[in-house]
Structure 1
Amino acid sequence: MPRRFLQRYLPNPDTLRRQRSLRFMAHLIGDPALWVLSRRSVANAFSVGLFSALLPIPFQMVIAAFGARLGRCNLPLSVALVWITNPLTMPIIYYANYCLGAWLMQTPAMTAPEHISTHWLQDQLLDILPALLIGSLVAAIAIGALANLTIRLLWRWQVSRSWKARARRRRRAKAASRV
């Protein structure tokens, strides 16, 4: 079942509440609704986490935590999914978002020079920013919705599969007891 798989990798809420650095948020972390692993809470956590990850803003984990609180979805999962945009993947993801935004705005995407410098980025920021923001917002909404739908379907498929397996085991046990 997906729940068992996720429980293996998610932290224990009691352990987090006892940590000294997180003590000021103990009342927020302690909300049991934010730790539930149900189809709805996991699917919504994927939406919130991926939405936050694709936005080119600082403090994405804080945005994901507030989104999890508002959406009543799984907090650690939504915060952990933000790390999809890590320092290695960030340039690729944000460049793809920029290209999507440029395509949506029907403007040609700028090509980067051989050596990107902070001076070049500062000069081009006003030209890049509108396409990056629009592309990031569209990609975040689309991928968040697609992730939500995919998780719900995968969860339903897995539960259906386990029910069928359990029914097969019962039939075999019943047939074996007759003999």
Structure 2
Amino acid sequence: MPKKFIRRYMPDHKAVKENRYLKVFGKLLHDPNLWHLNRRSASGAFGVGLFFAFWPVPFQMIFSTAVAIIFRVNLPLSIATVWITNPLTMPPIFYGAYLVGSTVLGTEVDKFTFELSWTWLAESLGTIGPAFLLGCAICSVFFGVLGYFSLDWVWRYSVMRAWKARKSA
């Protein structure tokens, strides 16, 4: 079941290979292991994608692609999972990461208003930056590991259910 579900929503490998930002990887994208969908490659790709989804940097897809190539996990799933943090979900996710960082550091949560400017970003790095970056790092590792083991468990569970159904039929 997870294989059919994932394959339905996974981006096409031709579209991924032709992405202008991913052309820097050249022939590395032609490795057939990057396009196979099995339990190991799907779980690894989900973990890699969630790990980089919490990085507050542009071009998370490039980092996710590089690590997917290194670990030889499913590339389209890794890239698609990064998009959990999209323009609609970034504010609550990153605010949650900031709260995690503030809690771990034991600092008071500062009230702030977001502005899309370089001056606001430069000023904020001194005040909320340490808590935000620490929270992003913690969430990145936590959800990457959680995603890996969760998808691995769901995959195993669905295979066991299919075996039992086949056995009883």
TM-score grouping bracket, smaller chain normalisation: 0.7 to 0.9
Q: Which amino acid aligns with 1:166?
A: R
- In the alignment, which residue of structure 2 is the partner of 1:149? 149
Deviations 1:108-144 (CA, angstroms, capped at 9, x unpaired): 111124xx43455543331111111110000110011
Distance 1:29 1:101, change over 3 A: same
Superposed counterparts of 1:38-49, under 5 Å: 38-49=38-49
Q: 2: distance between equivalents of 1:20 and 1:107? A: 42
Q: TM-score, length-normalised on structure 1? A: 0.83
Unaligned runs of 5+ in 1: 170-179
Q: Which amino acid aligns with 2:55?
A: L
- In the alignment, which residue of structure 2 is the partner of 1:68? 68
Conserved? CA contact 2:11–2:80, under 8 Å: no
- In the alignment, which residue of structure 2 is the partner of 1:53? 53
Describe the SS at the equivalent of 2:128: helix
Q: Percent identity?
A: 42
Distance 1:24 1:97, change over 3 A: closer
Superposition deviation, residue 4 in structure 1: 2.5
Unaligned runs of 5+ in 2: none
Q: Which amino acid aligns with 1:165?
A: A
1:137 is the counterpart of 2:141: no
Q: TM-score, length-normalised on structure 2? A: 0.88
Distance 1:62 1:20, change over 3 A: closer
Q: 2: distance between equivalents of 1:18 and 1:126? A: 39
Q: 2: distance between equivalents of 1:112 and 1:69? A: 39
Superposition deviation, residue 70 in structure 1: 1.2
Superposition deviation, residue 160 in structure 1: 0.3
Superposition deviation, residue 9 in structure 1: 2.8
Conserved? CA contact 1:17–1:30, under 8 Å: no
Aligned residues: 166
Conserved? CA contact 1:2–1:155, under 8 Å: yes
Superposition deviation, residue 62 in structure 1: 0.3
Moved more, 84-93 or 16-25: 16-25
Superposed counterparts of 1:32-111, under 5 Å: 32-111=32-111
Superposition deviation, residue 78 in structure 1: 0.5
Q: 1: distance between equivalents of 2:67 and 2:25? A: 16
Distance 1:16 1:30, change over 3 A: farther
Conserved? CA contact 1:17–1:23, under 8 Å: no
Deviations 1:33-68 (CA, angstroms, capped at 9, x unpaired): 111111111111111001101011111000100110
Superposition deviation, residue 24 in structure 1: 6.5
Superposition deviation, residue 7 in structure 1: 2.3
Conserved? CA contact 1:51–1:140, under 8 Å: yes
Q: Which amino acid aligns with 1:163?
A: W
Conserved? CA contact 1:49–1:64, under 8 Å: yes
The structure with more helix, counted as a fraction of residues? 1
Bigger radius of gyration, 1 or 2? 1
1:165 is the counterpart of 2:165: yes
